[in-house]
Amino acid sequence: MEIIYASNYEDMSRKAAIAIAQQVIKKPTSVLGFATGSTPLRTYEILIEFHRQGIVDFSCINTFNLDEYIGLSSDHPQSYSFFMLKNLFRQIQLDPSRIHIPLGTALDLSRECADYEEAIQSLGGIDFQLLGLGSNGHIGFNEPETQLNSITHVVSLSQETIKANSRFFTNLEEVPKKAITMGIKSIMNTRKILLLVSGEKKAEIIRQALSGPISKEIPASVLQLHPNATVVIDQSIL
């Protein structure tokens, strides 16, 4: 595992955007895995700048998002589908047929999870996966105690995660209590992983994830076992 310390959030975001751009330039048909939340927002802004400057052509990529809230329609302002369209996909003019995000309103959630996993495999797997880190060590929505061999599945969100995400909603009660997420095994099967670490109260959890024992209590700790994982840490949080 490679650990890179960025001087601040902007530096971290630029390093991430450059890594993603390099992946697409090297392999224009790359399958990219994307994350949501506040951490990757600036990274996406820089990727949009690269697109507009003609530095990177995203037209042949396929994308998979890590997760989606259950119960929110794709046009709900707090759905991750809405987030990605607003903050990246529309801006880089990506064909909707190349965008894959779990359907949180699916009538058969088990089938939706299975179909999502099958879709990843049908495109040959994910070449490059962008991750953020939850305050409790989760990656995707894989909360503490998630089985390390899990694939795409339905998860009940922890109270800590619900509280952390309530800042995006009017009140705590509006935050969905369940989500669909790619599993830990699904994430570990990706060829390259880039974990971005920024935000308040992340210093202790990233220390445990990187140097502590590998355990279900801290899902991100499993990344220690990935053969091609890079962590970029905004050192201003340390």
Q: Which helix (H) or strand (E) holds 154?
A: strand 153-156
pLDDT by residue (tens digit) across 104-163? Answer: 999 999 999 999 999 999 999 999 999 999 999 999 999 999 999 999 999 999 898 898
Select which of 51, 65, 67, 142 is catalytic: 67
pLDDT by residue (tens digit) across 162-195? Answer: 988 888 898 898 899 999 999 999 999 999 999 9
Domains and CATH numbers, the chain: 2-138+145-237 (3.40.50.1360)
Confidence of residue 200 (pLDDT cuts 50, 70, 90): confident
Sequential DSSP letters for 15-57: HHHHHHHHHHHH-TT-EEEE--SSTTHHHHHHHHHHHHTTS--
Listed in sequence order, the DSSP H helices in 36-167 are 41-52, 80-84, 109-122, 159-165
Active site residue 143: yes
Select which of 112, 117, 127, 143 is catalytic: 143
pLDDT computed for residue 66 by the predictor = 98
Active site residue 138: yes
pLDDT computed for residue 204 by the predictor = 94
Active site residue 145: no
pLDDT by residue (tens digit) across 40-77? Answer: 999 999 999 999 999 999 999 999 999 999 999 999 99
pLDDT computed for residue 160 by the predictor = 87
Select which of 11, 45, 115, 136 is catalytic: 136
Proportion of the chain above pLDDT 90, given as a percent: 90
- Whether the CA torsion 214, 232, 91, 168 is positive or negative: it is positive
